[in-house]
Amino acid sequence: MRWIPQLPGLGEWKRFVDYRKIQLSKLANVEVHTGTRLTAAAVRDYGAEIVVIATGARWAGDGLNALTHDAIPGADAALPRVLTPEQVMLSGKRPPGKRVVVYDCEGYFMAPGIAEKLAGEGYAVEIITTLDTISPHSDETLEGPEMRQHLHDLGVAMRSNVSLDAIHEGSLECSSFGDRVQVETDAVVLVTQRLSNADLYLELRAAGESLRTAGVQAMYRIGDCLAPRLLADVSFDGHRLGREIDSDDPAIPLPYLRERMVPELIRTRSE
């Protein structure tokens, strides 16, 4: 959420962070320290009895995707012609030529946002997706038709029902409904799948007895660190753990409290 609001049209999303910063600043029993990356040793020595790991996720640089459950041949974010969203937004990495394909397996805001940003910088951009339409999840938020029209007006080409099978220098090897498709391009941005940043959690969990000796009584991981998901689900996951931290097993969510209409009780009360 530090860089997502920098995508075109998503500046309002910064309120997700700003609201929580304001609310936390009102609590005298909460301390917030930023700009520090803790190692496993630092966590053990911190003195906390409960540790919650919320280290987020990152976009796969090898094209790992939900369609094939595998990497894409030729995909390597260390190459100039292969990029990830973080490299575009945080590292300033740019395609080596003017033609760029944004390959989308997610179906939400990331691929359109990256495509619009690069198109605004003068690149000839095309979005290719394995899905039936560009950003189908945006239809659930009533943004889909307007967003696709906006991309069209910007000159962003769009192609759906296409899978990326291999990346070569100067071209992409694709397929659509069994037909082979060759796409000429200078670079590809992979918006395929996110991977949890779970290294710190796994290192701490492997510490075992030394963690308990350091005074850590419980450790949990939440949000994208547990499994990449929508922003709303990430927020709920952290909020839920905070509410249920004193339950018998906070790692297991308590059942939802639901209001049910019971006709027998309604009749009894009305009588």
What CATH number is given to the structural domain containing 134? 3.50.50.60
**25 located within any domain:** no
Claim to verify: residue 149 and residue 70 sit in the same structural domain: yes
Claim to verify: residue 79 and residue 146 sit in the same structural domain: yes
Claim to verify: residue 175 and residue 216 sit in the same structural domain: no
Pairing of strands 171-176, 179-184: antiparallel
Helix%, strand%, coil% for the chain, nearest 5: 35, 20, 45
> Which pTM value belongs to this model?
0.90
**207 located within any domain:** yes
Claim to verify: residue 52 and residue 62 sit in the same structural domain: no
Per-residue pLDDT of the chain (271 residues; tens, 9 = 90+): 989 999 999 999 999 999 999 999 999 999 999 999 999 999 999 999 999 999 999 999 999 999 999 999 999 999 999 999 999 999 999 999 999 999 999 999 999 999 999 999 999 999 999 999 999 999 999 999 999 999 999 999 999 999 999 999 999 999 999 999 999 999 999 999 999 999 999 999 998 888 999 999 999 999 999 999 999 999 999 999 999 999 999 999 999 888 777 777 666 555 5
Looking at the DSSP bridge assignments, the partners of residue 187 are 100
**48 located within any domain:** yes
Claim to verify: residue 171 and residue 64 sit in the same structural domain: yes
Range of the domain at 168: 58-194
Residue 98: phi and psi, rounded to 5, are: -85, -20
**261 located within any domain:** no
State the Cα–Cα distance between residues 130 and 177, nearest whole angstrom: 11
Claim to verify: residue 62 and residue 176 sit in the same structural domain: yes
Claim to verify: residue 203 and residue 129 sit in the same structural domain: no
| Other residues' Cβ atoms within 10 Å of the Cβ of residue 23 | 10
Claim to verify: residue 68 and residue 163 sit in the same structural domain: yes
**Domain tally for the chain?**
2
- In which element (H, E) is residue 191 found? strand 187-191
Place of tokens 């190692």: 39
| Other residues' Cβ atoms within 10 Å of the Cβ of residue 62 | 20
Q: Average pLDDT of the chain?
A: 94
Cα separations (Å) of 106 from 21, 79, 132, 162, 211? 29, 22, 12, 13, 37
**24 located within any domain:** no
What CATH code is carried by the domain that includes residue 217?
Answer: 3.40.50.720
Closest CA to 165 of 242, 68, 233: 68
**202 located within any domain:** yes
| Other residues' Cβ atoms within 10 Å of the Cβ of residue 30 | 9
**What torsion, rounded to 10 degrees, do the Cα atoms 5, 9, 12, 14 define?**
0
State the Cα–Cα distance between residues 197 and 91, nearest whole angstrom: 18
Claim to verify: residue 179 and residue 208 sit in the same structural domain: no
Claim to verify: residue 163 and residue 233 sit in the same structural domain: no
Cα separations (Å) of 49 from 34, 43, 54, 212, 215? 20, 10, 16, 9, 6
DSSP codes of every residue in 224-258: GGTS---HHHHHHHHHHHHHTTTSS-TTSPPPPP-
Claim to verify: residue 186 and residue 149 sit in the same structural domain: yes
Claim to verify: residue 161 and residue 178 sit in the same structural domain: yes
Q: Percent of the chain scored above 70 by pLDDT?
A: 97
Q: Would you state the pLDDT for residue 270?
A: 56
**238 located within any domain:** yes
